[in-house]
Amino acid sequence: MIVNKMKATAVAPANIAFIKYWGKRDVGPNIPLNNSISMNLDCAQTTTTVEFDPAMKLDQVTISGQAAGKTETERVSRHLDLFRKLGKINHAAKVESTNNFPKGAGIASSASGFAALSLAAASAAGLKFTQKQLSVLARQGSGSACRSVPDGFVEWAAGDSSESSFARSIFSPDYWNICDVIVIVSHQQKKISSTEGHKLARSSPFFDTRIKGMEKKVAEIKKAMRKKDFSSFGEIIEAEAINMHAVMMTSVPPLYYWSPETLEIIKSVIEWRESGLEAYFTIDAGPNVHIICQGKDKSRVVRKLKTLRSVIEQIIIAKPGKGARLI
C-alpha cells in the first residue's frame, strides 16, 4: 500500500528587481500597477517543507529553526488556506523554512519564502499546477514571490485580474553572464515593510508620472537585454531605482530607506564607471545596495568596495539562478 505522506519540500530563489513593483492596483491579491523585470539569485534561496497532518489542530511554522511570530504565522496560514481549499484538505500543517542567506541580510525573504511555500504546499496537498498557475498562487502570498517561480530573468505581467497577473521567464539563467554583488551595510530589519510602503506610493506627487513611464521603460530594458547591451541596461536600472526611491521619499509620510553608506556606494559606483569599471546599482526597500556588473568584473567590484570608508557588513555575489523547484 502506498501511504500518501502529504509532505513535500521545495526550494526557491530570492530575486532582484531591475524594473520595480511599487504600488498596487489591488492590495488583497497583490495586483501591481506595472509590469516588473527581475533576475533570480542563484545563491540566495529558501528551502521549505510543508506537511499536512490530520493530528494537528493549528499550523506550526518555524523559520531557521525558530518558531515564527504570530503575524508571520498568520500570513503563512492564510496562504496555506488557498491550498487547503483547492485540495479539499482540513488539516493543519507543519511548515519548516530555512534561508541559506543570513536573516535580515536585506535580501527580501518574502519572495523566496512564498514561492517555496507555494510549491511545497501544492505538492503536499497532491495538487498539480502549471508554472503560470503556481506564479499566480505565489503572488497572493507576496507580490514579488511570483517572480521567484520561473527560471532566470523574469517578467511579471501586471494584468488586471488575479488570473492575468503572473510571471514568466524571458531569458534562461545562462543567457547572460551578469552578477549581482550584494553589499550589506545593515542587517537590521527595516522599520516600514514593503507591504506597508506599497500603500503610501500613491501619496507621492510623482507616482502618476512614474506609472505613465513604465510601459516604455519595460520595452526599453527588454530590448537592451535582447541585445545584451549592458550599458543601456545599466542606465535603465539605475534611473529606475532612483525613480522608485524618489517616489518613496516624497510619499506622505516619507520613506527614507537609505543610510549614509548607501549614498557613499551610489557615488562610488558612478565614479568607478567614469574610470572604466562598468557597474550599475539598484536598491530595494532598504539601505543595502545591489551592484550589477558583468561576470568578468565582479572581483574588481569587490576589491573597490573594500577601499570604501563605509562599514560593509557582508558581500554576497549572486549569478542568475533557477526558479522554484521540488527537492
List residues near ligand DP6 by CB under 6 A. 17, 20-22, 30, 36, 108, 110, 142-144, 194-195, 198, 284-285
Q: Note whether 48 and 64 are within 8 A (CB).
A: no
Report how far apart the first and last C-alpha atoms of the chain are (Å, whole number).
23
Is the CB of 198 or the CB of 222 nearer to ligand DP6? 198
Please state the closest distance from residue 275 (CB atom) to ligand DP6, in A: 30
The amino acid sitting at 225 is: M
Is the CB of 5 or the CB of 254 nearer to ligand DP6? 254
Q: Other CB atoms closer than 10 Å to residue 243's CB: what's the count?
A: 19
Report the residue number whose CB is nearest to ligand DP6: 143
Please state the closest distance from residue 190 (CB atom) to ligand DP6, in A: 10
For residues 157 and 167, give the distance between their C-alpha atoms in angstroms, rounded to a whole number.
6
Please state the closest distance from residue 138 (CB atom) to ligand DP6, in A: 10
Tell how many helices (H) and how many strands (E) occur in the chain.
9, 14
Is the CB of 39 or the CB of 92 nearer to ligand DP6? 39
Q: Note whether 138 and 145 are within 8 A (CB).
A: yes
Please state the closest distance from residue 248 (CB atom) to ligand DP6, in A: 9
Please state the closest distance from residue 142 (CB atom) to ligand DP6, in A: 3
Is the CB of 203 or the CB of 299 nearer to ligand DP6? 203
Q: What is the dihedral of CA 314, 319, 79, 144, to 10 degrees?
A: 90
Q: Note whether 152 and 322 are within 8 A (CB).
A: yes
Is the CB of 30 or the CB of 268 nearer to ligand DP6? 30
